[in-house]
Amino acid sequence: MRVLRRLLRDRNGWLGLAGVGLVVLMALSAGWVFPGDPLAITGPAQLPPFQDPAHWLGTDRLGRDVLAQLFHGARVSLSVGAAAAAMAIGIGTLVGTVAGFLGGWADEALMRLTEAFQTVPSFVLALALILVLGPSLASVVVAIGVGAWPGPARVVRAEIMALSRRDYVDAYRCMGMGWGEIAFAKLLPNALAPVLVLATVTAAAAILIESALAFLGLSDPNRVSWGSMIADGRAVLRTAWTLSAIPGLAIAVAVLSISLLGEALTVALDPRRGRR
What would the pLDDT profile of 26-81 be if each residue is shown by its tens digit?
Answer: 999 998 999 888 989 888 888 888 888 888 998 998 889 999 999 999 999 899 99
Q: Quick check: 101 pLDDT over 50?
A: yes
Residue 271's pLDDT is 55
Cβ partners under 8 Å of residue 40, min gap 6? 64
Residue 250's pLDDT is 94
Residue 274's pLDDT is 47
CA 205 vs. chain centroid, Å, equals 6
Q: Quick check: 131 pLDDT over 70?
A: yes
Q: Which amino acid is at 79?
A: S
Q: Which domain holds residue 220?
A: 2-273
Evaluate whether 179 touches 170 at the Cβ level (below 8 Å): no
Q: In which region does residue 176 sit, left (phi positive, over 0), alpha (psi from -120 to 50) or beta (all else)? A: left
Q: Quick check: 4 pLDDT over 80?
A: no
Distance separating alpha carbons of residues 146 and 122, to the nearest angstrom: 9
What is the rounded average pLDDT of the residues 189-197? 84
At 141, which CATH number? 1.10.3720.10
N-to-C CA span, the chain:
24
Give the whole-number percent of the chain exceeding pLDDT 90. 42
Residue 275's pLDDT is 45
CA 248 vs. chain centroid, Å, equals 17
Q: Identify the three-state secondary structure at position 270.
A: coil
What is the rounded average pLDDT of the residues 238-249? 91
Residue 113's pLDDT is 93
Residue 52's pLDDT is 84
Total domains in the fold of the chain: 1
What is the rounded average pLDDT of the residues 147-156? 92
* Helix, strand, coil percent content, the chain, rounded in steps of 5: 75, 0, 20
Evaluate whether 207 touches 251 at the Cβ level (below 8 Å): yes
Cβ partners under 8 Å of residue 200, min gap 6? 85, 258, 259, 261, 262, 265
Distance separating alpha carbons of residues 236 and 242, to the nearest angstrom: 10
Distance separating alpha carbons of residues 4 and 257, to the nearest angstrom: 16
Long-range contacts of 92-95 (CB under 8 A, 24+ apart): 92/148, 92/149, 92/150, 92/151, 92/152, 92/153, 92/154, 92/155, 92/156, 92/195, 93/152, 93/153, 93/156, 93/188, 93/195, 95/149, 95/153, 95/156, 95/157
Q: What is the mean pLDDT of the chain?
A: 88
Residue 43's pLDDT is 84
